[in-house]
């Protein structure tokens, strides 16, 4: 519960930070002339955007207009997008935290790597929404594109791992089958113990074979019980 409270507090803090440069609720955003169609020179400059220039200007928003002031946005529509993106980020940040807390409490679950992949791509999606909210005032489209590319890479990695693991997951016995196997092993153990205590066996067994039967039944019982609990 304390972790969720901290997450909510951080989400609220980020929302306040993003809103520092927002226009007032009573003022309509004014369309800016920077939204005009770029000239041919600007097109050539954009096409010549090299790898080094891309990362040098990764957080430079001077080449693009702020989304809030581009077009005929109303306050209601603008804040609908911003608040929704921030709320999605809060949820997409909380889900990976819960998944990783679950994985920490249950390290014995099968295929733990897929949990990490799910947590990574969900967080990446949420962070992309946070960046989209910030673009309303801070047009870092290069950084936004990079986050989207990373999200796409993580998402497709998750897809490939899921496809590879699906046959193995389908081989896992269901809880009903595990329960039946545990019950059978329990009956075999009870029968072996009763035979040992009473000295009566359905087949002529020696002392060593009796002990072996009890040991095998006990081993099967413990294995089925461990699988059932996991």
- Summarize pLDDT for 3-44 with one digit per residue, the tens: 544 555 555 555 555 445 444 444 444 444 456 545 445 454
Core vs surface per residue 176-200: b (16+ CB within 10 A) or e: eebeebbeebeebbeebeebbeeee
- Residue 110 or 193, more confident: 110
- Judged by average pLDDT, the poorest of 116-120, 122-126, 141-145, 209-213 is 209-213
56 to 135, 143, 200: CA distances (angstroms): 18, 11, 85
pLDDT of residue 173 exceeding 60, the answer is: yes
φ, ψ at 26 (rounded to 5°): -95, -5
In sequence order, what are the residues at sequence separation of 6 or more whose Cβ sits closer than 8 angstroms to the Cβ of residue 82? 18, 19, 22, 133, 136
- Residue 176 or 52, more confident: 52
What integer is the mean pLDDT of 182-205? 58
Q: What is the pTM of this model?
A: 0.61
Integer Cα distance of 183 and 213 in angstroms? 17
For the chain, percent of residues with pLDDT exceeding 70:
53
What pLDDT shows up at residue 179?
Answer: 61
What pLDDT shows up at residue 94?
Answer: 96
What pLDDT shows up at residue 155?
Answer: 94
């Amino acid at each position: 519960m304390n972790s969720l409270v901290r997450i909510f507090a951080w989400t609220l803090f980020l929302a306040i930070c993003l809103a520092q440069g927002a226009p007032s609720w009573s003022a309509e955003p004014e369309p800016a002339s920077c939204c005009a169609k770029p000239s041919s020179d600007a097109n050539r400059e954009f096409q010549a955007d090299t790898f080094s220039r891309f990362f040098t200007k990764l957080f430079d928003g001077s080449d693009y207009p702020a989304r809030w002031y581009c077009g005929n946005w109303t306050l209601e529509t603008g804040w609908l997008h911003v608040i929704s993106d921030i709320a999605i980020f809060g949820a997409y940040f909380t889900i990976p935290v819960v998944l990783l807390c679950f994985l920490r409490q249950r390290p014995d679950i099968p295929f733990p790597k897929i949990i990490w992949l799910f947590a990574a791509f969900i967080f990446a999606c949420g962070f992309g929404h946070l960046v989209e909210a910030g673009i309303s005032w801070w047009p870092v489209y290069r950084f936004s594109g990079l986050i989207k590319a990373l999200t796409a890479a993580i998402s497709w990695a998750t897809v490939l791992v899921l496809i590879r693991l699906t046959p193995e997951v389908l081989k896992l016995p269901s809880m009903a089958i595990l329960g039946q196997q545990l019950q059978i092993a329990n009956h075999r153990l009870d029968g072996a113990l009763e035979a040992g205590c009473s000295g009566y066996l359905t087949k002529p067994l020696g002392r060593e074979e009796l002990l072996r039967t009890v040991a095998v039944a006990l081993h099967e019982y413990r294995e089925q019980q461990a699988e059932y609990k996991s």
